[in-house]
Structure 1
Amino acid sequence: SGSSKVTRALVEALRAFSSPKWWLIGKEEGKAETPARKRLKPEEFQQKCAERHAQMRKVYESTMMQDSEQRWLRKVCSEGTAGDRIASLTMLSQVCPVFATGWITALLTMAGKTARSDAMMALDALKDLFVNTLLPDRKLKTLSQMDPIAPKGLNKVTWTQITVVSFFEDYLKTAFAGFVHVLSEAAHSSVAFFKTKSIRTAHELLAAKPEQERALLALLVNKFGDHTAKVSSNVSFHLKQLLKAHPGMKPIVVREVEAFLMRKNITPKSQYCAILHLSEMVFSKQDGEAAARLIKLFVTRLEQALAGGAGPS
């Protein structure tokens, strides 16, 4: 029958999404297309992406429910201990990332709960998931930033790949921003362990992937203002480690610390920690921009001090 043919075609299309490197799905086919392709209106493209993702996810879920291991994992997600639920949600998210939106959202919900031990486990699981499975080595795009190509001239599998992957990337960008927000909330906990944990996680994410770079760096630098000495010293340590791995980030780090120092009502202790870190930065011949900016910052701070504390103090 016609409906069975459609179902078989959809199931066949699922094979295209078996790769864990979702950002590569459909790319080779897309490269073969001419640049003069017809474009849809952005809102129309976004609607089609959402519709096709929902359609394919429904087929995927129906197919997975025929697998006994998948059924067991889903049962654990609703009936197991917090640790078991987190482990099961992580495993389900790794099987086929583009259709894991529900599982990722569930992990984010657990990470944002007040039961801190459970939240920390969920944060750890999400960090590993984002670094090792979900995030590509580039910044993510929203649907509004993508090329709204039309289906005309594309075969159905390629069109399905493009729309499903585009929808997932848009979702993932929002989800990861939510994760960074949860991490920022943990960084403001009254418990030192949670603060140091969130700082370390922010550093690991910054070192591994470019997504949310500015927000993660701000999270780190802001903790120079923490009243706990161990926390503020950890910030300097992690920033040094970050620059060892990515020396090209020195100008960005200098700018972020400069912005921190320009705030009103910054405490002398916070100011000292930030300036001490900057004074310990090591520059090479390639770091002329960052070094010049740092010298200018030091001169400005000195002038403010000699003028009797004009400006932030």
Structure 2
Amino acid sequence: MKRIAVLTSGGDSPGMNAAIRAVVRKGHHHGLEVVGVQRGYAGLIQGDFKSMNLGSVGDIIHRGGTILHTARSEEFKTAEGQAKAVENLRKHGVEGLVVIGGDGSFRGARQLAAKGLATVGVPGTIDNDIPGTDFTIGFDTAINTVIQCIDRIRDTATSHERTYVVEVMGRNAGDIAVWAGLADGAESILIPEAAHNLDEIVERLERGNRRGKRHSIIIVAEGVGSGVEIGQRIKEKTGSETRVTVLGHIQRGGSPTASDRVLASRMGAKAVDLLLEGTSDHMVVIQNNRVTGLAFQEALAMKHKPDMSIYELAGILAI
């Protein structure tokens, strides 16, 4: 193998740049030429490639987002679009591809692998919803962003003796809500993986009021529903002032934490190792702090679920 390519696809996540840097520099360490694909699968179809040297990835490890940019491509979902992408890769002499992104990006990677191109995925998404890996790139930064925001909200909640409902991202997964909820002492955490009873949440609030507690934080994962609607229902049931904050895309930006920079560097380097070993149709995962490869087929057979022991502990400690 002499030339590989790297792209980022789907939603951006802090640490993607660190992963790009690792792919480029590990590739050059092994004497490979490395090509960057602009704007994900759309760039594959358009042939938007650029050669990347050691200097191309200088001074980016601390930056959020992705220097290769990202986009969603409906055309790539078609057989014609995929054929065009493979044609462009072969025209540029690319023998291996590293795809940094989430589950939708990995479905695209599998299509390319099925067409004979050696392809390896690196899980980059703040949602932490990829089966088979303990953590994804960007998750740690996202929960730290949420924690910083909730710390500030709690100051206001304390001053005004109010209940605050905070809606966090995560798509259909509750990992961000669970980890941030435990770390910030939220009184209640609503996630799509666990049933919730609004009457029980109200009872918890009223129980706190009886022992002198005058403010509360309730975290709602977006997969549960609208934080605004849930806040309104709580207000109607309690009669107390309730405010809602939807954190939104602020959770996807910002300088990656040390944990995400290290994870991204390890995963990006491992992706190059896998390609050089002749491995394809695999993703890089971290399991029990060991970075390794896992077949996409095996990973897709699993079902992601947040660590429910953390969810349960958060409920116990918020009693």
User: Please, what TM-score do these two structures have when normalized by structure 1?
Assistant: 0.28
Return the structure number with greater relative CO, CA threshold 8 A, min gap 6: 2
Structure in which a larger fraction of residues adopt strand? 2
User: Please, what TM-score do these two structures have when normalized by structure 2?
Assistant: 0.28
Larger Rg computed on CA atoms: 1
Structure in which a larger fraction of residues adopt helix? 1
